[in-house]
Amino acid sequence: MSGNRRRPPQRDNDGTPALGHRAPGGRAALTRWPFAPRTAARPQAGRSAPRAAPTGRRWLDYPRSGRTGPRRWLPSLRQALATLLLCCGASLAFVGYAYASVTIPNPNPSTLLQNNVYYWSDGTVLATDGSVNRQNVTLGQVPLDVQWDFLAAENSSFYTDPGIDPQGILRAVLHMAEGGSVQSGSTITQQFVKNTYLDQSQTISRKFKELLISAKVGAAMPKQQVLQGYLNTCFFGRQANGVQAAARMYFNLPVQKLNVSQGAFLAAAVNQPSLYQYADSDPKARAQAQERWSWVLDRMVKIGRLTPQQRAKYTAADFPVPRRWTPGSGLKGQNGYLVALARSYLQQQDKNITDKSLSRGGYQIYTTFDRRRTAQLNQAVDKVSKERLDPAHRSADRDVQVGAASVDPVTGKILAVYGGPGFDQGHYSDNADTTGVPVGSTFKPIVLASALQHGAVLQPGKPAQPITPASKFNGDDGIQIKDQQGNYVTDTNDPSGYLHQHNDTNQAWGYIDLRKAMEQSVNTPYVQLGEDVGYHNVATTAEDLGLHADSLAAPSAGFYIGTSTPSAVRMAGVYATFAADGMRATPYSVTKVTYDGTPLPDFAPPAPVRALPSAVADNVTNVLQGVIARGTGTKAQALGRTAAGKTGTTDDYQSAWFIGYTRQLATSVVLFREDPNHPRLLSLEGVGGLQKVFGGDIPTAIWTQYMGAALAGQPDVPFPAPEPLGPTTDEPGAPSPSAHPPAATPPTKRDTPRGTTTTRRPPTGSNCHHKCH
């Protein structure tokens, strides 16, 4: 046993194992300096041993040691996670601090309930509107079904959520980060906070503040109080703020008497008030409102507030059509149309100006409208209407409507409009700014301008040939029209299968020049010319002159003689461009806007642009002077000054136009009939005791009456002499090359041929196989 006894370790004088002594298990004993080399000498007495240099890593190993190139600058996973955690912690700390710091502010004071003020061009007040129409109610006065209509449409989890919607927050942040405005989708609590405590600015800071206050309100305020405040501050259109005002504006009922179907309509109106407020009269608005109304009722079933059997009672036939909207009594006569025109322009120029912000008031709008000329245009329509129309004794004179617009050719300022009898007379559609009435032969100068600029393909496969007003085309009635490929244009309404274009009479004009065809409003030359110039070129010229693409008819033979439906304002702008030697000044209605006295940007006048070469514009003007001198517009000679213009009449005499201008003023006048209960165009035959009503009759009389008053005291400024356009080309088949315009021809009583029947919605296009014009 003694051989297995362990020997005690040899130790130094201080009791530590001796250097080199092997510990049990055969391992050498360590020195008391564990990091020193095994061969290091023991320190001498009285002296400390030297320490090795530290080899540990840096506290923040960035840029990363031991890495080269891009990897040196790429953080490790641990570093990335640590940074993320740090950012999250900092964000939470910031949000927590902000939440602790924010308090629920006092509601916005009543001083925010202001009017908007509209000014005439001379600085005097035109009209005021925008005062907040609100009557607060308690939640108990709102039927429970109506309350749930709003909850189903806007925030079905209202009674269980904390007042904010994380998904809605993320959607809004992402949309704002992309440069857009703050999106909808907020909870009812958020909407209540925005309407009651904050402004309507579209900023991230305002949205962040809204979220914090909403969380505070959700924690501190009873849900019933929040819902009551929301229902009293919502904007519903028709200048109605709050559910009580909306109930009266849309259904002429107190809110207590609303049913679930009417409540669903109002819950839908909150989503898009600027559109649904016209659901009584605008088919598009009604269709969209009905779709949203149906969706709200379906949502009521989904959340268990209606049974499927109860929902089945409300079909499309039960849609609660709102009552006719009657705006404020202060908007009488033309004032309502002027204000509507200015409001539309405001919202086109500045997307932050909404119906809701205008309803809250505080805007000062300075318009281009000339007070004197507006009165003169209204007086001219009234005077001629009283002289020529007798609705009490002549049924054809009933439902006759007039629209007119007057524009400054140099600046584009809209100086006057006639939109109808007035809002106070129950006529809310602005006849001067509406589309849907075809312009007839007043479109022919656009075709001529395009031909003078681009030329015409007179032979298939050949390049375009130069065209001038002296170019001759076949003016006979019933001729067949060819396209640029030499093919006859087809017409499914013709027994032959091909289009036979007609004029208003069967007179055999033979080959006549484009000047005479314009003066006498002969269709066939301009239909063939339009086909030769090409739809694209003509449509491009129309847009260059200021017409909107969506008002232009689809490609067809009728397009070239007026099946398009631009507004009277836009057509006045086109002719103003001819008057200004081809410089287009886009018509506009607002010169300056301030909010609480601070000017807003984006309301500088549109800068004029070159739409046509001056030689082209001046030649068109010279041709249109002949329309008044010896053509269908001779009644305009009563003006007694230099002027140019064009008449226009459409198929079945559904509209009659006269558009004319001097160097100082361009004015368009349109006459049509429309039954207010059945919105479609009616024939003008028999109006004013006339068998056929042309643009050279009543519209020209109104134009002459107004222009005489509007230009009184101003000099008679001549148009510039047209610059020669160079060589010209006739249509193939003309008996001889064109030389000079033919001698003046006697004026004819007929204005233009008839055109495609349309409603007051833009037509889809027609070959116009009847007497288009």
Distances (CA, A) of 742 to 299, 444, 519, 616: 73, 20, 12, 20
For the residues 733-760, what does the mean pLDDT come to? 46
Query: What's the confidence (pLDDT) of residue 326?
Result: 65
pLDDT band at 19 (very low <50, low <70, confident <90, very high): very low
Residue 219, both tokens? 């924690």
pLDDT number for residue 174: 65
Q: Are the C-beta atoms of 366 and 590 separated by less than 8 Å?
A: yes
How do residues 548-564 score in pLDDT, each as one tens digit?
Answer: 999 999 999 999 999 99
Q: Worst-scoring range by mean pLDDT, 101-105, 306-310, 335-339, 608-612?
A: 101-105
In 3-state terms, the chain is what percent helix, strand and coil (to 5)? Answer: 40, 10, 50
> Is 17 in contact with 23 (CB distance < 8 Å)?
yes
pLDDT number for residue 467: 97
pTM: 0.68
Q: Taking each helix axis from N to C terminus, what angle separates 371-388 and 698-710, rounded to the nearest 10 degrees?
A: 150
Residue 355: the pLDDT is 86
Whole-number pLDDT of residue 193: 81
- For tokens 């919105």, what's the residue? 679
Element (H, E) at 680: strand 678-682
pLDDT of 28 reads: 44
**Considering the chain, what is the average pLDDT of its residues?**
83
pLDDT interval class at 475 (50, 70, 90): very high
645, β-bridge pairs:
660
Per-residue confidence at 770, pLDDT binned at 50, 70, 90? very low
Higher pLDDT, 490 or 679: 490
Residue with the larger pLDDT of the pair 170 and 583? 583
Instruction: Report pLDDT for 320.
Output: 95
CA 103 – CA 113 distance, rounded (Å): 24
What is the band of 753 on the pLDDT scale with cuts at 50, 70, 90? very low
The answer to whether residues 338 and 417 touch, using CB atoms and an 8 Å cutoff, is yes
Residue bearing the bigger pLDDT, 240 or 59: 240
Percentage above 70 pLDDT, the chain: 77
pLDDT band, very low/low/confident/very high, at 2 (cuts 50, 70, 90): very low
3-state secondary structure (DSSP) of residue 552: coil
Asked whether residue 637 carries a pLDDT value surpassing 80, the answer given is: yes
Residue 77 has pLDDT above 60, yes or no: yes
To which residue do tokens 């919502």 refer? 234
Count H helices, E strands: the chain?
A: 21, 17
The whole-number pLDDT of residue 747 equals 39
**Cα–Cα distance for residue pair 756/564, rounded to 1 Å:** 10
Rounded to whole angstroms, the Cα distance separating 645 from 660 reads 4
- For 414-465, strand residue ranges (E) read 414-418
Mean pLDDT lowest among 8-12, 135-139, 204-208: 8-12
Residue entry with tokens 């499914």: 492
Higher pLDDT, 132 or 459: 459
pLDDT of residue 241: 85
Dist CA 616 CA 194 (whole Å):
56
Closest alpha carbon to 389 in 667, 758, 697: 697
Question: Is 545's pLDDT higher than 50?
Answer: yes
Segment 629-633 mean pLDDT: 96
Q: Are 641 and 746 in contact (CB under 8 A)?
A: no
What is the model's pLDDT at position 143? Answer: 96
Report pLDDT digits (tens) over 47-60.
545 555 555 556 66
The number of angstroms, rounded, from the C-alpha of 167 to the middle of its chain's C-alpha atoms is 29
Query: Higher-confidence residue: 109 or 607?
Result: 607
pLDDT score of 161 more than 90: no
Q: What pLDDT was estimated at residue 23?
A: 47
Provide the terminal-to-terminal Cα distance of the chain, rounded to the nearest Å.
Answer: 135
Question: Using one digit for the tens of pLDDT, what is the confidence trace for 187-197?
Answer: 888 888 877 77
Judged against a pLDDT cut of 90, whether residue 45 lies above it is answered with no
Whether pLDDT at 614 is above 90: yes
Question: Read out DSSP for 639-679?
Answer: G-S--EEEEEE-GGG-EEEEEEE-SS-EEEEEEEEEETTEE
| pLDDT tens per residue across span 372-415 | 999 999 999 999 999 999 999 999 999 999 999 999 999 999 99
CA–CA separation, 235 and 243 (whole Å): 8
Supply the pLDDT for residue 51.
52
The torsion of the CA quartet 246, 250, 253, 257, rounded to 10 degrees, works out to: -80
State the pLDDT at residue 520. Answer: 96
Calculate the dihedral angle through the C-alpha atoms of 14, 18, 24, 27, rounding to the nearest 10 degrees: 130
Q: Are 756 and 438 in contact (CB under 8 A)?
A: yes
Encoded tokens for 454: 């681009």
Q: Is the model's pLDDT at 658 over the cut of 70?
A: yes
Q: What is the mean pLDDT of residues 531-535?
A: 97
52/543: higher pLDDT: 543
Question: Following CA atoms 670, 671, 676, 680 in sequence, which dihedral angle do they give, to the nearest 10 degrees?
Answer: -80
d(CA 625, CA 660): 9
Instruction: Give me the pLDDT at residue 275, please.
Output: 86
Give the number of other CB atoms < 10 A from CB of residue 155. 22
Q: What does the pLDDT average to over 445-471? A: 96
Query: Exposed, middle or buried, 288 (CB in 10 Å: 0-12/13-18/19+)?
Result: middle
Question: Both tokens of residue 753?
Answer: 């041929």
Among 50-59, 95-104, 430-439, the range with the most confident prediction by mean pLDDT is 430-439
Burial environment of residue 106 by CB neighbours within 10 A (0 to 12, 13 to 18, 19 or more): exposed
Give phi and psi for 414, each to the nearest 5: -80, 110
**AA identity, residue 59:** W
The CATH class given to the 142-318 domain equals mainly alpha
Instruction: Supply the pLDDT for residue 186.
Output: 81
**Side chain identity at residue 705, one-letter code:** Q
CB of 174 closer than 8 Å to CB of 180: no
Classified as helix, coil or strand, 407 is strand
Flag the least confident range among 352-361, 370-379, 583-592, 699-708: 352-361
Indicate if the pLDDT at residue 461 is higher than 80. Answer: yes
> What is the pLDDT at residue 375?
97
Q: Helix (H, G, I), strand (E, B), or coil: what is residue 414?
A: strand
What distance in Å separates the CA atoms of residue 531 and residue 557, rounded to the nearest whole number? 7
Say yes or no to pLDDT of 681 above 60.
Answer: yes
Q: Please report which confidence band the pLDDT of residue 135 belongs to, taking 50, 70 and 90 as the band edges.
A: confident
pLDDT of residue 1: 45
Instruction: Report the pLDDT averaged over residues 565-575.
Output: 98
Q: How far apart are CA 384 and CA 418, in angstroms?
A: 14
| Range of lowest pLDDT (426-430, 638-642, 727-731) | 426-430
Name the residue ranges covered by the structural domains of the chain: 142-318
> Residue-wise over 353-390: b if at least 16 C-beta within 10 A, else e?
bbbbbbbbbbbbbbbbbbeebbebbbebbeebbeebbe
Banded model confidence at residue 179, pLDDT cuts 50, 70, 90: low
**Cα dihedral 273/277/279/282 (nearest 10):** -100
pLDDT at 172: 55
